[in-house]
């Protein structure tokens, strides 16, 4: 609480500095009177100057005293601090939802003020508007729903999408985050309630990348029934071609109206995540955040873990990495890691990656077991059937096949098909243990303790699953059982750990939030036709090189989220430069591809920064 109050004061000082340099241009508005007050984009609440009140027909509709932006800001922060005080001691879910509600009410009322407090206090507010609270919000979305935000497409809209797209009020849209709600964080299929995720991701786009909120759309495409959803259709999910036809129709409609919009696919279940990525990536400017954004963030962290051991980056090829969870994120990470190895050694034969997941047989047993056995027995049996993926495994997903171990590769270690996690860790002695399974606590005390025998001087534990309770282990347990010399990263935020003797176990947040805003922004301002592997690689390398050796030595692999706009500007510029080098940049607005290609590195960063929107009250000019 105290931290928020203190940072509010300093944020306000920073805000003033920024305001004094920025002269906001006028904003054309086609409405008057209460219509303006009810539009969060234009509304300034009590902040409308008297002359503007006269011009826009607002005189008498507001209390007479004009309250400055700074005062409004301070009042909001005071209310937030009071809420923290008043909810002290209450269960954390209740407190988090209360904080989300107060922010959401401001979002619904006055976007300029909302985004300013978000930008200035991103470290405190990211865990509320984004992971982990956003997961809780999605689970409770039907009850929390007050007013629409974003667009919704369902199976009933087949054949109508082209006209529906024109229902969106903004003429220009730059950024779309799309979900089908089928794999929301580690929480499963939440259907239409998953819309909370695109909303949270787009809030991060505004905060980190300065995407103008009037030029973005959160979208839910949902084609199914789910028991606890009040807001969705009560129908089975579409499958096969029927599903793809709908997504095809949606993406064609988007492209027809906004051909330069970047579309981010988010939280699709694995089969559709890969399928849609392959289907659209060479035709549209799109990417899948869970596969590609996560991969870049993980790779940056893994390279940091190599540096933390005092080894050259090329040693990455020798790192033994155990990945738990062969889903969209886990496979995305391994694919990018393998590309990095092949760049370093010109061969992938020597990579030392071990992948564990459920055997498909589990899925066959699942239905029977759930019906016949109590959940505890089911959980134990399911855990027993999770293990090392080898070429012996039947029905292996084609995307996982390149990482399946051959008998020859593992027999010397005494491992085989389905070897358990504890066996693998004990025998491989990995440098890195990385979880993207969505299952909380799979890095048990025994598994973490076995990491003490790692061949690394600084074993790395990445518990990347979200939200917090789905993390493979907590930060405290990681340091307690795996030792004080580990480097630790998690997808959801954990507090740093007090190691005693005045030492701190640093907690890194290995979350794709460090990359997706820069990938989206760099693609947008380069006018990229498509998003290539090299652009994604450039993003990851940029993030990896952001940290100093000193920081890395103290276990800090990622920058503080406080500097997310600067990071995003650099990542965006790296993506832009690679888009030019890769021949996919078509230019943005008045800036053509030739002009872009003549910019030096600093100029690209400045150009990206210049394209970032910053929330200030603009003078409103009424036009009929």
Ligand X SMILES: O=C(O)C[C@H](O)C(=O)O
Q: Which residues bind ligand X (CB under 6 A)?
A: 131, 185, 267, 289-290, 466, 491, 511-512
Nearest to 11 by CA among 615, 559, 548, 510: 615
- According to the annotation, is 266 in a ligand binding site? yes
The DSSP letter of residue 526 is: H
> Stretches 285-293, 342-350, 446-454, 559-567: which one binds Mg ion (CB under 5 A)?
285-293
Rule CB under 6 A: say whether 255 interacts with ligand NAD. no
Provide the minimum distance between the beta carbon of 564 and Mg ion in the complex, in angstroms, as a whole number: 17
Rule CB under 6 A: say whether 193 interacts with ligand NAD. no
> Chain centroid to CA 484: how far?
29
- Please give the residues from 80 up to 99 whose contact with ligand NAD meets the rule CB under 6 A: none
Among 52, 189, 267, 359, binds Mg ion (CB under 5 A): 267
Cβ-proximal residues to 159 (8 Å cutoff; 6+ apart), any chain: 249
- According to the annotation, is 290 in a ligand binding site? yes
> Stretches 49-57, 61-69, 463-471, 603-611: which one binds ligand NAD (CB under 6 A)?
463-471
In angstroms, rounded to a whole number, what is the distance separating the alpha carbons of residues 377 and 368?
A: 12
C-beta closer to ligand X: residue 84 or 203:
203
C-beta closer to ligand NAD: residue 173 or 487:
487
- According to the annotation, is 121 in a ligand binding site? no
Cβ-proximal residues to 4 (8 Å cutoff; 6+ apart), any chain: 77, 80, 81, 84, 121, 124
Nearest to 135 by CA among 440, 474, 435: 440
From the list ligand NAD, Mg ion, ligand X, none, pick the one residue 591 interacts with, judged by a Cβ distance below 5 to 8 Å according to partner type: none
Among 52, 249, 357, 541, binds ligand NAD (CB under 6 A): 357
- According to the annotation, is 267 in a ligand binding site? yes
In angstroms, rounded to a whole number, what is the distance separating the alpha carbons of residues 526 and 611?
A: 11
Provide the minimum distance between the beta carbon of 472 and ligand X in the complex, in angstroms, as a whole number: 13
C-beta closer to ligand X: residue 459 or 467:
467
Cβ-proximal residues to 524 (8 Å cutoff; 6+ apart), any chain: 174, 175, 211, 260, 262, 588, 611
User: Which residue is at the shortest CB distance from ligand X?
Assistant: 131
Compute the CA torsion angle 302, 305, 309, 310 (nearest 10 deg). 80
Provide the minimum distance between the beta carbon of 178 and Mg ion in the complex, in angstroms, as a whole number: 12
Rule CB under 6 A: say whether 526 interacts with ligand NAD. no
Q: Cite the active site residues.
A: 130, 201
Provide the minimum distance between the beta carbon of 294 and ligand X in the complex, in angstroms, as a whole number: 6
Among 177, 434, 436, 561, binds ligand NAD (CB under 6 A): 436
C-beta closer to Mg ion: residue 12 or 128:
128
From the list ligand NAD, ligand X, Mg ion, none, pick the one residue 576 interacts with, judged by a Cβ distance below 5 to 8 Å according to partner type: none
Provide the minimum distance between the beta carbon of 386 and ligand NAD in the complex, in angstroms, as a whole number: 4
Strand partners, 286: 263
In angstroms, rounded to a whole number, what is the distance separating the alpha carbons of residues 424 and 390?
A: 12
Rule CB under 6 A: say whether 270 interacts with ligand NAD. yes
C-beta closer to ligand NAD: residue 165 or 329:
329
> Stretches 90-98, 318-326, 494-502, 580-588: which one binds ligand NAD (CB under 6 A)?
318-326
- According to the annotation, is 359 in a ligand binding site? no
Expressed in angstroms, the distance from the first to the final Cα of the chain is 46
Provide the minimum distance between the beta carbon of 511 and ligand NAD in the complex, in angstroms, as a whole number: 4
From the list ligand NAD, ligand X, Mg ion, none, pick the one residue 582 interacts with, judged by a Cβ distance below 5 to 8 Å according to partner type: none
Neighbouring CB atoms inside 10 A of 447's CB total 25
Query: What are the helix (H) ranges across 445-491?
Result: 445-450, 475-482
C-beta closer to Mg ion: residue 298 or 447:
298
320, 430 Cβ separation under 8 angstroms = yes
> Stretches 106-114, 119-127, 260-268, 526-534: which one binds Mg ion (CB under 5 A)?
260-268
Provide the minimum distance between the beta carbon of 111 and Mg ion in the complex, in angstroms, as a whole number: 24
Size of the site for Mg ion (CB under 5 A): 3
C-beta closer to ligand X: residue 418 or 467:
467
Cβ-proximal residues to 252 (8 Å cutoff; 6+ apart), any chain: 161, 162
Rule CB under 6 A: say whether 506 interacts with ligand NAD. no
C-beta closer to ligand X: residue 8 or 195:
195
In angstroms, rounded to a whole number, what is the distance separating the alpha carbons of residues 195 and 137?
A: 10
Among 179, 470, 474, 526, binds ligand NAD (CB under 6 A): 470
Rg of the chain over CA atoms, in angstroms? 25
Show the beta-strand stretches assigned E in 246-367: 262-265, 286-288, 320-324, 352-358
Among 189, 249, 290, 359, binds Mg ion (CB under 5 A): 290
**Is the torsion defined by CA of 548, 551, 554, 556 positive or negative?**
negative
94, 113 Cβ separation under 8 angstroms = no
475, 461 Cβ separation under 8 angstroms = no
Take residue 30 and report the two structure tokens written for it.
């086609």
From the list Mg ion, ligand X, ligand NAD, none, pick the one residue 442 interacts with, judged by a Cβ distance below 5 to 8 Å according to partner type: ligand NAD
C-beta closer to ligand NAD: residue 49 or 441:
441
531, 538 Cβ separation under 8 angstroms = no
The DSSP letter of residue 88 is: T
In angstroms, rounded to a whole number, what is the distance separating the alpha carbons of residues 514 and 122?
A: 13
Among 197, 211, 326, 531, binds ligand NAD (CB under 6 A): 326
Element (H, E) at 488: strand 487-490
Q: Binding residues for ligand NAD, per CB under 6 A?
A: 183, 185-186, 270, 290, 294, 297, 324-330, 356-358, 383, 386, 436-439, 442, 464-466, 470, 491, 510-512
Residues that bind Mg ion (CB under 5 A): 266-267, 290
């Amino acid at each position: 609480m105290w931290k928020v109050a203190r940072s509010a004061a300093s944020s306000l000082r920073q805000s003033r500095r920024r305001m004094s340099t920025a002269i906001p241009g006028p904003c054309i508005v086609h409405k008057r009177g209460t219509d303006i007050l009810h539009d969060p984009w234009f509304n300034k609440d009590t902040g409308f100057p008297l002359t503007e009140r006269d011009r826009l027909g607002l005189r008498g509709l507001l209390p007479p005293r004009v309250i400055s932006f700074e005062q409004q800001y301070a009042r909001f922060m005071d209310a937030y601090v009071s809420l923290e005080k008043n909810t002290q001691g209450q269960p954390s879910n209740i407190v988090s939802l209360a904080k989300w509600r107060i922010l959401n009410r401001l979002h619904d009322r006055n976007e300029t003020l909302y985004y300013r407090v978000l930008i200035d206090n991103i470290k405190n507010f990211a865990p509320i508007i984004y992971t982990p609270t956003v997961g809780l919000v999605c689970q409770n979305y039907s009850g929390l729903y007050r007013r629409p935000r974003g667009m919704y497409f369902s199976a009933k809209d087949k054949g109508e999408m082209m006209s529906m797209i024109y229902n969106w009020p903004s003429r220009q849209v730059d950024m779309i985050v799309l979900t089908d709600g089928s794999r929301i964080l580690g929480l499963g299929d939440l259907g239409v309630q998953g819309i909370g995720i695109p909303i949270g991701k787009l809030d991060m786009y505004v905060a980190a990348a300065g995407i103008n909120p009037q030029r973005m759309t959160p979208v839910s495409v949902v084609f199914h029934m789910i028991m606890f959803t009040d807001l969705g259709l009560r129908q089975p999910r579409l499958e096969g071609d029927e599903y793809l036809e709908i997504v095809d129709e949606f993406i064609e409609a988007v492209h027809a109206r906004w051909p330069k919009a970047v579309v981010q696919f988010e939280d699709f279940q694995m089969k559709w995540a890969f399928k849609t990525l392959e289907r659209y990536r060479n035709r549209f400017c799109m990417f899948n955040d869970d596969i590609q954004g996560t991969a870049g963030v993980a790779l940056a962290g893994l390279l940091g873990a190599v540096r933390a051991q005092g080894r050259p980056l090329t040693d990455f090829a020798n790192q033994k990495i155990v990945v738990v969870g062969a889903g969209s994120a886990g496979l995305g990470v391994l694919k990018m890691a393998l590309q990095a190895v092949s760049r370093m050694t010109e061969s992938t034969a020597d990579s030392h990656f071990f992948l564990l997941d459920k055997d498909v047989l589990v899925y066959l047993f699942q239905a029977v077991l759930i019906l016949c056995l109590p959940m505890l027995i089911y959980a134990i049996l399911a855990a027993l059937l999770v293990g090392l993926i080898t070429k012996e495994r039947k029905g292996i997903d084609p995307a996982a096949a390149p990482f399946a171990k051959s008998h020859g590769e593992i027999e010397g270690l005494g491992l085989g098909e389905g070897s358990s996690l504890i066996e693998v860790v004990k025998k491989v002695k990995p440098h890195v243990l990385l979880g993207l399974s969505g299952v909380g606590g799979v890095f048990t005390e025994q598994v973490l303790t076995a990491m003490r025998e790692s061949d690394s001087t600084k074993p790395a534990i990445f518990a990347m699953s979200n939200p917090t309770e789905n993390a493979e282990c907590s930060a405290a347990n990681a340091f307690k059982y795996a030792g004080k010399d580990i480097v630790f990263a998690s997808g959801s935020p954990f507090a740093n750990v007090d190691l005693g003797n005045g030492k701190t176990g640093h907690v890194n947040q290995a979350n794709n939030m460090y990359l997706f805003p820069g990938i989206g922004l760099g693609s947008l301002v380069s006018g990229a036709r498509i998003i290539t592997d090299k652009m994604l690689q450039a993003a990851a390398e940029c993030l990896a090189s952001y940290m100093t050796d000193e920081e890395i030595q103290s276990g800090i692999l990622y920058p503080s989220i406080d500097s997310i706009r600067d990071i995003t500007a650099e990542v965006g510029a790296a993506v832009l430069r690679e888009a030019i080098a890769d021949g996919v940049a078509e230019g943005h607005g008045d800036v053509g591809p030739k002009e872009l290609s003549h910019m030096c590195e600093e100029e690209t960063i400045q150009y990206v920064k210049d394209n970032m929107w910053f929330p200030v009250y603009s003078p409103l000019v009424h036009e009929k």
